[in-house]
Amino acid sequence: MITEIAPAPERVVSRQTRPRTRRRAWDEVPRWQIYLPLSIYLLFTLIPFYWILLFALRPAGSTSLVPWPVTFDHFEKVWTERSFGTYFQNSVLVGLATLVLTTVVALAGGYALARFDFRIKRAFMLALLCSQFVPGALLLVPLFQIFAKLSMINSLGSVVIAETVFQLPLSMILISGFIRNVPPSLEEAAWVDGCTRFAAFRIVVLPLLRPGLVAVGSFAFVHAWNHFLFALMFLSDQSKQTIPVGLNTLMSADSVDLGALAAGGIVAAVPVVIVFAFIQKWLITGFSAGAVKG
Amino acid sequence: MKINIRRSGRRTALAVALGSALALTATACGDDGSGTGGSKGSEGSGKGEITFWDSNGGVRTDIWKQVIADFEKKYPDIKVNYVGIPAASAQSKYDTAIQGGGLPDVGGVGTAMLAEIAAQGALEPLDGRLEKSSLNGRLSPGLLSVSKAAGGGDTLYQVPTSANNGTLWYRTDLFKKAGLDAPTTWSKFYEAADKLTDKGKNAFGFTIRGGEGSIAPALDAVYGQTGITSFWNGDRTTVNDPKNVAALEKYVALYKKDTPSADVNNDFTKMVAQWDSGTIGMLSHNLGSYQDHLKALGKDKFRGIPNPTMDDGTRVQVSNPVDGLGLFKASKNKAAAWKFIEFALSHEENSKFNESAGQVPANTDAAKDAWIQQSEPTKLAAEALNGANTKIVQLPYYLPDWNTISKADNEPNFQKVLLGKMTAKEFLDTLAEQLNKAQAEWKQQKG
């Protein structure tokens, strides 16, 4: 017999039940006092993006403030001549592999931190936190030597492992916070029903961790997608390089093709924007559920 | 639900931790050194694969790939693996490879980073190879002496491929409209900077480099105005000579008066972008941005001339970084690597490369080719570099601390000078003190 666990009732706060004083305060604020600062903030945020779009879409040499006539020459140039098609593919591979590895290992480590008690737990948590202060550049030479010994230089695997290792401490801390929020009694009920520890974790705990997993996974993906240093140092073959390295090669020592750079920037930014647009809801839930209460 | 694993897992955990630590230590220390700065490499068979790192990857990738294709056609038994490295990260990539392994056989090594790499013992001395080579006598003696000096003195660690030169780019359309002469002297330069400035219309006479890379252009302007021809007077630098202080005061006074106020953060990218897209009269950069100006402005709206002379026609300028190729000691196929260097420096290939890069060829035959006569900025730069009236102040690229002194240590101070928070004298005195100390240390190390 499997005990069904009813989902916790959502707390619905309707407009009618909202405290009277809060509603009055909200209603009394003139709309312009809300929308004007928000509009100014939005303008400051969007102008740089508009500038990137402008450079990417207007012809080279144009000084027009609107991208007209529109040209896709810069995109074609970076995608074909500058091999951004290959870089994009490599970045997707590195990003997804880091996401999967980080999430799986952080789940295991986070579960242990949340559910088990052992003597060096506090010291271990402290070590995890402290590892966040070590800059990646400091470990470049030892990491390079380790990967060279493992014949992993010039392999995307080296970047995935390095990115995962640097993502794990924060991810484990976050996941352990999310798991702590799941009452142990739910798992115990599943054990009573005959589940193994792993089955109970998979059937009962894992579904409740979805917001947390989205938060951790998206962070791992975005970090791996944007990170420049490891890809630069561990990958030499041009066909293995990733988008951040490709973007940097668009700036030479004394010349820069701004149109191509802007187009490359858009190619680099679009996947991240799409990822965030889809996961925004879970991300916010995840952070409010785990990170704050952690 | 808390599970205590103190007793049961303690020994296992300890063993795993110790094992991991030992494995990592063994892995880190057990490197055989191949490909690191310390390994000696070998001549090899002169066939097989070699790796070439282009330290200015991206923009130069296409032309290097052409050179490599030509090379592989001539030497079908040698394959060159091209690796393009972003220019801004080339030094750190070399440093990591020197310490950790994985150095290439041949690499692009500019004079700005030569001293640091040579000081770590990673580069092969090239004097002997050049002496026996078909290139002997065909490379610019001036550039060879710059390469030698930048490597620390008597040994050649870099074969120069191209020379760059400080160039004053100016908008011919704006000058014509204002009835101004070409800014060939410093007096004409300052006059034009004033006349072309109309802040109400967002028009400025000049754009000054206040951010990253600001020190060399500032020194170029200073020595160019004063006519002091040597960077050293004995063991003391001339950088804070009272004449230089006065020249710097005059130069930085242009900031905000005749330049945009945002110039305090100008690196070359911002500086070139705002000159190409706005209404600024003059820009001091090097030959490298020629193609950017051409694309943005078209060939009729601008000219590039060497930096201004003194009123009597004397031209004094600081030495610009020289691009070149280095052969790495760790290479296990030095014979093939040297063949590649020789080939890249041959008349035809060096000419082809520099025509694409818009720089002055190091191969003296290539420097006489027709394309140079048709590319005015390059032609004028070549004439200025070799002109009888030109005096070149050699910047101390050979000091291993030069990059730190001329970048991290003093770029923020130059910004303070522009913002009026530090005087030109204080700035140059600080710079001089650091340079004198670095020079003394270098001499001591050299014995």
The answer to whether residue B18 is domain-embedded is no
Q: Work out the pLDDT band at B66, boundaries 50, 70, 90.
A: very high
Would you call B6 and A255 a contact, using CB atoms and an 8 Å cutoff? Answer: no
Provide the token pair at B222.
């200073």
Asked if residue B342 and residue B246 are part of one domain, the reply reads no
Q: Domain end: B332, B357, B383, which one?
A: B383
Q: What is the largest CA-CA distance in chain A?
A: 73
DSSP character string of B91-122: HHHHHHHHHHS---SEEE--HHHHHHHHHTT-
Asked if residue B172 and residue B157 are part of one domain, the reply reads no
The total of structural domains in chain B comes to 2
> A-chain residues within 8 Å CB-CB of B110?
253
> A-chain residues within 8 Å CB-CB of B292?
255-257
We report the CATH number of the domain holding residue B95 as 3.40.190.10
Residues 135..194 of B with a Cβ closer than 8 Å to A: which? Answer: 164
Asked if residue B363 and residue B299 are part of one domain, the reply reads no
**Which residue type is seen at B325?**
L
* ipTM, interface predicted TM-score of the complex: 0.78
DSSP character string of B206-240: EE---STT-HHHHHHHHHHHH----SEETTEESTT
Asked if residue B268 and residue B356 are part of one domain, the reply reads no
What is the model's pLDDT at position A293? 47
Q: Work out the pLDDT band at A274, boundaries 50, 70, 90.
A: confident
Check residues B127 and A284 and name the one with the higher pLDDT: B127
Domain spans of chain A, in order of start? 16-71, 72-291
Would you call A254 and B164 a contact, using CB atoms and an 8 Å cutoff? Answer: yes
pLDDT digits (tens, 9 = 90+) for B383-412: 888 777 889 899 999 998 898 999 999 999
Asked if residue B233 and residue B184 are part of one domain, the reply reads yes
The answer to whether residue B399 is domain-embedded is yes
What is the model's pLDDT at position B34? 46
Average pLDDT over residues B61-75: 95
Percent of chain B surpassing pLDDT 90: 71
CA B206 to CA B204: how far, in whole Å? 6
- Selecting from A63, A117, A140 the residue whose C-beta is nearest the C-beta of B277 gives A63
Residue B443 pLDDT greater than 60, yes or no: yes
The answer to whether residue B4 is domain-embedded is no
What is the model's pLDDT at position B223? 97
B389 at A interface, C-beta within 8 A? no
Element (H, E) at B4: strand B3-4
What is the model's pLDDT at position A31? 87
Percent of chain B surpassing pLDDT 70: 91
A237 at B interface, C-beta within 8 A? yes
Asked if residue B425 and residue B293 are part of one domain, the reply reads yes
Would you call B87 and A252 a contact, using CB atoms and an 8 Å cutoff? Answer: yes
User: A27 CA to chain B: closest CA distance, Å?
Assistant: 43
The answer to whether residue B220 is domain-embedded is yes
What is the model's pLDDT at position A291? 46
pLDDT digits (tens, 9 = 90+) for B320-343: 889 999 999 999 999 999 999 999
Residue B157 pLDDT greater than 50, yes or no: yes
What is the model's pLDDT at position A290? 53
pLDDT digits (tens, 9 = 90+) for B250-299: 999 999 999 999 999 999 989 998 898 878 999 999 998 888 898 888 88
Asked if residue B280 and residue B211 are part of one domain, the reply reads yes
Of A221-225, B30-34, B238-242, B295-299, the one with minimum mean pLDDT is: B30-34
Domain that holds residue B116: 48-164+321-383
Q: Work out the pLDDT band at B447, boundaries 50, 70, 90.
A: confident
Provide the token pair at A96.
């997804």
B285 at A interface, C-beta within 8 A? yes
Residues 6+ positions from B439 with CB-CB distance below 8 Å:
B232, B235, B237, B396, B399
Asked if residue B358 and residue B414 are part of one domain, the reply reads no
A236 at B interface, C-beta within 8 A? yes
What is the model's pLDDT at position B83? 93
- pTM here is 0.82
Best of A87, A119, A249 to substitute, by most chain B Cβ atoms within 10 angstroms, is A249
The answer to whether residue B439 is domain-embedded is yes
Would you call A145 and B297 a contact, using CB atoms and an 8 Å cutoff? Answer: no
Question: How far, CA to CA in Å, does A162 sit from each of A133, A176, A236, B30, B233?
Answer: 16, 22, 16, 20, 51
Asked if residue B304 and residue B173 are part of one domain, the reply reads yes
Asked if residue B150 and residue B86 are part of one domain, the reply reads yes
Residues 6+ positions from B34 with CB-CB distance below 8 Å:
B101, B330, B332
What is the model's pLDDT at position B32? 36
Supply the DSSP symbol for B368.
Answer: G
CA B404 to CA A10: how far, in whole Å? 60
Residue A160 pLDDT greater than 90, yes or no: yes
Of A190-199, A277-286, B82-91, the one with minimum mean pLDDT is: A277-286
Of A90-99, B127-136, B245-254, B311-320, the one with minimum mean pLDDT is: B311-320
Asked if residue B359 and residue B421 are part of one domain, the reply reads no
Return the top range by mean pLDDT from A25-29, B113-117, B219-223: B219-223
Residue B18 pLDDT greater than 70, yes or no: no
Taking Cα atoms as reference points, which of B109, B139, B123 lies closest to residue B327?
B123
Number of neighbours of residue A46 by Cβ within 10 angstroms: 11
B26 at A interface, C-beta within 8 A? no
Would you call A144 and B101 a contact, using CB atoms and an 8 Å cutoff? Answer: yes
The answer to whether residue B2 is domain-embedded is no
pLDDT digits (tens, 9 = 90+) for B131-148: 999 999 999 988 998 899
Would you call A249 and B58 a contact, using CB atoms and an 8 Å cutoff? Answer: yes
The answer to whether residue B20 is domain-embedded is no
> A-chain residues within 8 Å CB-CB of B96?
140-141, 144, 233
Asked if residue B422 and residue B314 are part of one domain, the reply reads yes
Based on C-alpha coordinates, what's the Rg of chain A?
Answer: 24
Supply the DSSP symbol for A9.
Answer: P
Element (H, E) at B282: strand B280-286
Would you call A251 and B269 a contact, using CB atoms and an 8 Å cutoff? Answer: yes
Average pLDDT over residues B423-446: 95
CATH superfamily membership of A72-291: MetI-like (1.10.3720.10)
Would you call B298 and A61 a contact, using CB atoms and an 8 Å cutoff? Answer: yes
What is the model's pLDDT at position B21? 42
